[in-house]
Structure 1
Amino acid sequence: MSAPAETEVWAPVGRTVGAVCAVGILVVGQLYVVLPVLNRLAADWDTSKSAATWTTTAFGLAYGAGFLVTGPLSDRWGRRPVIVGGLAATVVSTLLVAAAPGLVTGLSVRILQGLTASFFAPAAFAYLSERIAPERRIFALTCLTSSFLGAGVVAQVLAQLIGNALGWHAIFVAGAIAFAVSAVVLRVVLQPPARSADPRADDGDSGTGVVPSRSVFAPFVELLRQSRLALLYLSCLAILGSFVGVYTGIQLAPPKGVGSGNGALLALRASAIPAMVAIPLLAGRLGGIAPATRLVAALGAAALAVAVAAVPLGGVWVAVWLFVFVAAIAVAAPAAVQTITAGAGAARGAATALYTFALFLGASAGPQLANLVARHGYSAVALAVAALSATGAALAAAAGFRSAWLK
């Protein structure tokens, strides 16, 4: 006798979360890998360091915009085919970045790379939301969002090491090889779509039903018509916008007391890695706090931490408060997606697509925010980022007030 259906639907937590999060670091890391080698890119492409930051913005905008298509596609075609196919396409686009001879071509292929990479995140969020047992779901989603944030640190550290040893081209060649391996690994690890015995039971939310083309984008409109969700999506702009803004500022205008040499910057970037490890381990305790409350508190804490880090008291001072800032952002990201999907009903694929779109739209704006104020020094960057985080906290709080008022 076969096991009951409900015991067959859940994916094994360890290998699934481990593999998906490792690939998440690789995918999202492509946003950040150019930051440690901006000087090298500018020199090779005969452009300014400020212009070279647009390679981050170009990737981020394309990556975020792609979610608006790839999220609904994962509802139609299934999570695994979209993830694996996107990774295979990203092998090619990443090799094209390595071969780019100048800024214009570089921006074009970074846009292409962002579009192919965008197949991963919405489908990964939806897969974990559907295929991980409910009692482990907060842990899984926290690990995934932490991997996205951890990519900002890990990818910069690895890119700096590879770039220093082999040049910036090698960063993308290594990335292409890693994408090819990732496609094979996730093809094996992820479970195929579960087929319903009754075709009428598929509503498209499971990733197995066929959604009529005319209705693919309709959920976006319905979601954004809800003022509470619209406010939450706006608050999400501050999550990665703040994060990328801080690290771009570190590269463009190193804090006082932190030398501009590779070793000092590498140590400052690496100082936040423990925060990425700690937050998923605390997921169980954090799960006892309402996601909306966690989101407001975390963004508020991020604003406070980065504002304190603006005080020029040396490298250790900045490193300590950067750790607190990164930990707060690592709490905010999963809290945001939980808050949003709780109010999304059956449109989880579309809701997570809009969430990730908002995250990386903010990530695309972060470097330009840092560019605007970097000439005034790191303290100016930190204060601008603090204002952005505080605005995000205020928007999330307004969404909570709106929800309470409607009740």
Structure 2
Amino acid sequence: MSSPPDTEQQVWAPAGRTVGAVCAVGILVVGQLYVVLPVLNRLALDWDTAKSAATWTTTAFGLAYGAGFLVTGPLSDRWGRRPVIVGGLIATVLSSLIVALAPGLGTGLAARILQGLTASFFAPAAFAYLSERIAPERRIFALTCLTSSFLAAGVVAQVLAQLIGNAWGWHAIFIAGALAFVVSAVVLQVVLEGEAKAEGKTTAQSAGFGETLRTVFAPFAALLRQGRLVLLYLSCLAVLGSFVGLYTGIQLAPPEGVGSSNGALLALRASAIPAMIAVPLLAGRLGVIAPHTRVIVALGIAGIAAAVTAIPFGGVWVAVWLLVFVAAIAVAAPAAVQAIAAQAGAARGAATALYTFALFVGASAGPQVANLFAYSGYSAVALAIAGFTLAGAALAYASARGRGVITTLV
């Protein structure tokens, strides 16, 4: 049995400034998924297309972003966390400017795919950096903050995009984003520390690139042969899928009593911000509940809250239950990655990559679910999203059950 590593000589990264900077950039990066939602009308008008077609700009980004994780994770193992993070941010400066210059839907979709791919360099390397460089006693808090920042992006990015879009047009959203990525690259180049010096190279560093990919991807097949994990991954589709889907529905078919005015929609989006602040602060107390239980209960509550927003009792009613919905999703996301890691054994890196892939495949599907029901009004969208979310809770429950249940499903 090998001896444990000597942690006495390990110099941990300063938690405060590291977590703060990484989470702030996380909001910016993941926020690119959501920035088009408040300006779908403007995009459709400028590109002479239907509003429903414009929602594919969210789907295109999300699919490319999720798929990119499966490659950018291994790249960060080979090249180091900081170079991959900073290099990805610089590449996203260029891809964001390309989106801003897109003259039509076809080029806009291609540009959003490119932006999703360049943005995907951030998350796997950021998760790995915090897992390796933050002191163990602060690590769970750091990872919860990072996961919560990804969810907070869904609210913060929409609010900022609506404000910028109303003032200067949708092009300005991506130009402002490009400038923010420049600042982010500089900040993280300074804040993040380089790789610790070692006497020899790691296996991933010393192997050829093809061998590195084979080594990193090999655990994926083993993970996907585990029925309980497969069900848990499928439940993760509902986490961001329901989140993006419900907010897309709000834009496409505003709830009764809210209307389509910019002020009303801005207030509705901003109403969920307190949930994003509260959940990380409660991480310690929530941590005493088993991760699987948290996923099941949180997705169940989110599904019920989404369904309740379908009742036409006015804007305040929708805002209150939207707050409950967002809080529940914010609890489910970090609980899901903890539940997956607990079953993944030594393959936690690959398991986390599949988790983030599932999250953003779901996020890509969400707008299209909203599209299918938007013509019947917001209530139809909310009920469809509620069903989607409750199905996720049911899959998580099936995953938590004994192997007899799993065997019949896979």
Return the TM-score normalized by structure 2. Answer: 0.93
Instruction: Report the 3-state secondary structure (helix = DSSP H, G, I; strand = E; otherwise coil) of the residue aligned with 1:194.
Output: coil
Percent identity, aligned pairs only, is: 79
Segment drifting more, 301-310 vs 187-196:
187-196
1:100 aligns with 2:118: no
* Count of residue correspondences: 398
Q: Deviations over 1:64-113 (max 9, x none)?
A: 11111112222222222211111111010000000001110000000000
**2:398 is matched with which residue?**
398
- Aligned ranges 1:108-257 → 2 under 5 Å: 108-197=110-199, 199=201, 202=202, 210=207, 212-213=211-212, 214-257=214-257
Aligned to 2:23: 21
Does residue 332 (structure 1) correspond to residue 335 (structure 2)? The answer is no
Counterparts of 1:189 and 1:284, CA distance in 2: 26
User: Counterpart in 2 of 1:373?
Assistant: 373
Runs of 4+ that moved beyond 4 A:
208-211, 403-406
- Any idea what SS the aligned residue of 1:376 has? coil
* Residue pair 1:74, 1:349 contacting (<8 A) in 2 also: no
Q: Secondary structure at the match of 1:10?
A: coil
**Native 8 Å contact 1:252 1:374 kept in 2:** yes
Moved more, 395-404 or 110-119: 395-404
CA deviations over 1:155-181 (Å, ceiling 9, x no partner): 010000000101111100000011111
Task: Determine the structure 2 residue equivalent to 1:38.
Answer: 40
For residue 71 of structure 1, the aligned residue among 64, 70, 73 is 73
Q: CA 1:149–1:403 in 2, change beyond 3 Å: closer, same or farther? A: farther
Residues 300-333 of structure 1 show CA distances to partners (whole Å, capped at 9, x for unaligned) of 1111111111111110000000000000000000
Per the TM alignment, residue 209 of structure 1 is displaced from its structure 2 partner at its CA by 6.7
| CA pair 219-8 structure 1, distance change in 2 beyond 3 A | same
Residue 48 (1) aligns with residue 21 (2) = no
Contact 2:151 2:330 in 1 (8 A): yes
Deviation for aligned residue 1:21: 0.6
**1: distance between equivalents of 2:299 and 2:349?**
25
> In 1, Cα distance between the equivalents of 2:330 and 2:127?
16
CA–CA separation in structure 2 for the residues paired with 1:136 and 1:347: 22
Residues 152-161 or 69-78, more deviating = 69-78
Conservation of the 8 A alpha-carbon contact between 1:72 and 1:350 = no
Alpha carbons 2:291, 2:336 under 8 Å: kept: yes
- Give the match's secondary structure for 1:32: coil
Read off the aligned partner of 1:379 and give its amino acid letter: S
Is residue 304 of structure 2 the alignment partner of residue 304 of structure 1?
Answer: yes
The alignment partner of 2:375 has SS state of: helix
Distance 1:390 1:209 in 2: 46
Matched-pair contact (CA < 8 Å) for 2:229–2:340:
yes
* Change over 3 Å in CA distance of 1:267–1:283 after alignment to 2: same
Corresponding letter in the other structure for 1:261: S
Q: Name the aligned partner's letter for residue 377 of structure 1.
A: G
**Greater Cα shift, 279-288 or 216-225:** 216-225
Q: Distance in 2 between matches of 1:267 and 1:244?
A: 17
Show the counterpart of 2:272. Answer: 272
1: distance between equivalents of 2:207 and 2:183? 29
CA drift of 1:230 comes to: 1.2
Relative distance call for 1:9 and 1:346 in structure 2 (3 A) is farther
Contact 1:88–1:183 (8 Å) recurs in 2: yes
Partner of 2:382: 382
How far does the alpha carbon of each residue in 1:340-395 deviate from its partner, in whole angstroms, 9 at most, with x for none? 12222333332221111100000000000000001111111111111111111111
> Aligned to 1:343, what secondary structure does the other structure show?
helix
> Quick check: 1:239–1:362 contact (8 Å CA) kept in 2?
yes
The Cα RMSD (Å) is 1.7
TM-score, normalised by the number of residues in structure 1: 0.94
Report how far residue 6 of structure 1 moved: 3.3
